[in-house]
Amino acid sequence: MTHHGSDHDSAHDAQPVIGVRPGRMRDRRARGQRGPLALPGPLSAGRVPRRLSRNQRFDRLVETVAAGLETELRTRRPPVEIVIDHAPLLPDTWDDEVPLCTVVEGQQAQRLVVFRRPHLERAAELGELTEMVRHNIAERLAEIWRINARDLRQAGTDRQSGTGRQSGTG
């Protein structure tokens, strides 16, 4: 039995669609954009912006605070490396408040370990989290270097807010 021009034959000859899908995209049931425009792939128009996770936003925040203190981190002695860990490992008998950061002696430099989870649990909003991270890092560094933490916090804040500006003298 021969098929003349049936749908069955044309399905085998179909070529895959390459490029941006023509026409309007529907937002069915108000669940947001779906399909080729929402996912990276051959049918998407360009790069899909990626949203940072809560952990990634915290890591970037710590990097920003550390960047504001870059001069002090390079010039002061003993040298200090700032690292991020998820949460401290505490014994089952621990009764005190969970620490936000701690200092660990290293071979080349001391490490200031900033714990992500305790910070995220205690801060209600981004502004509070930023201040908490800045305060805790400055306090620990001030203890290590035996300097005033307020001066260190101010130096870090000045450098962060002055990004891209040139300060004139005279």
pTM: 0.63
70 pLDDT tier (thresholds 50, 70, 90): confident
For residue 21, the one-letter residue type is R
Question: In degrees, to the nearest 5, what angle opens at C-alpha 60 toward C-alphas 57 and 63?
Answer: 155
Q: How far apart are the first and last CA of the chain?
A: 97
Residue-averaged pLDDT of the chain: 77
Predicted confidence at residue 49, as pLDDT, reads 59
Rounded (to 5) percent helix, strand, coil in the chain: 45, 10, 45
Domain annotation for the chain: domains and CATH numbers: 54-161 (3.30.2010.20)
For residues 55 and 30, what is the distance between their CA atoms, to the nearest angstrom?
Answer: 29
For residues 115 and 7, what is the distance between their CA atoms, to the nearest angstrom?
Answer: 62
Question: In degrees, to the nearest 5, what angle opens at C-alpha 54 toward C-alphas 72 and 160?
Answer: 30
pLDDT at residue 102 is higher than 70: yes
Helix and strand counts by DSSP (H, E) for the chain: 6, 3
For residues 28 and 49, what is the distance between their CA atoms, to the nearest angstrom?
Answer: 22
58 pLDDT tier (thresholds 50, 70, 90): very high
Q: Kindly report which listed range (45-54, 71-80, 97-106, 125-134) carries the lowest average pLDDT score.
A: 45-54
pLDDT tens digits, one per residue of 85-97? 999 999 999 999 9
The tokens describing 34, both together, are: 């779906």
pLDDT at residue 60 is higher than 90: yes
